[in-house]
Amino acid sequence: MSRTPLLAANWKMHKTVGEALEFLDALLPALPAEGPEVVLCPAYTALAPVVARCVETPVRVAAQNMHQAESGAFTGEVSAAMLLDLGVEDVILGHSERRALFAESDEALAEKLPTALEAGLEPILCVGEDEAQRDADQTAEVLTRQIEADLAAVEPEHLDRIVIAYEPIWAIGTGRTATPEQAQEAVALIRERVATRDAGAAERVRILYGGSVKPANAAELLAQPDVDGALVGGASLEAADFAAIVAAAAR
Ligand code: 13P
């Protein structure tokens, strides 16, 4: 089964509109004509201008979060319809920073995933263990729990429309990348968990690795048989670095 690699740039709370457009001026000419899918995830404030700049390019645009309700009294939140309205096609859900700093729960994610899918957005669901859980040998248990809880309300036939990102928390922004073997082992385990719901979807679902991915380590991570791409934070802020990571997946 060949899955098209996907490289996503999670800019987190970085880049004004001007900085985002400057990045695109450098990135777009540097992308390979054919090959991996590229998704940029700017802050809400830069979504519309980034979508406008990416029209007629192969680059897709994702939000970094979304509320599960259609509308309502949720100050500061944004709905799936609002994202679609801007031409956004993807949405990161359950990033560990949302889980740890903003109380994102598995219960909310179990609602967000079907809501995003019904709206026609491609969700990028993040899962991953923290350092204490890895040290205590609980990685498989944590990943299983997150996958089961977050995907509970997704119909089996829609599972392959989700992208899953394995992001070990101890590797995020620390410069401490998972070894290719650790990434492969965890991503294969996630695929196995999806297979318990639908074996065909598990073959098709794309599972990314995220956590200190850089031009220097991208190729060996992306060469792992179950690793279908990367969700890149820090190294996605520089167009040249992100383009080099995309190129590593195109090889
Ligand atoms: P870093 O690449 O900066 O470690 O961040 C990873 C991440 O959180 C992407 O979502």
Q: Could you tell me the pLDDT band of residue 1, with boundaries at 50, 70 and 90?
A: low
Q: Across residues 209-234, what is the average pLDDT?
A: 97
Find all residues with CB under 8 Å of 202, minimum gap 6, and list them: 159, 191, 192, 194, 195
Continuous segment of H or E residues that includes residue 37:
strand 37-41
Write the residue with the smallest CA distance to atom 7 of ligand 1. 233
Of 37, 67, 95, 129, the catalytic one is 95
From ligand 1's centre to the CA of 73, what distance in Å?
A: 31
Question: Is residue 97 among the annotated active site residues?
Answer: no
**Predicted local distance difference test score (pLDDT) of residue 34:** 85
The 10s digit of each residue's pLDDT in 48-79 is 999 999 999 999 999 999 999 999 999 999 99
Domains (range + CATH), the chain: 6-29+37-250 (3.20.20.70)
Ligand 1 proximity of 49 Cβ (cutoff 6 Å)? no
**Predicted local distance difference test score (pLDDT) of residue 181:** 97
pLDDT at 169 over 70: yes
Report the percentage of the chain scoring pLDDT > 70.
100
Write the residue with the smallest CA distance to atom 2 of ligand 1. 233
Question: Is residue 167 among the annotated active site residues?
Answer: yes
Report the percentage of the chain scoring pLDDT > 90.
96
pLDDT at 17 over 90: yes
Asked whether the CA dihedral 216, 21, 91, 69 is positive or negative, the reply is positive
Asked whether the CA dihedral 33, 36, 37, 43 is positive or negative, the reply is negative
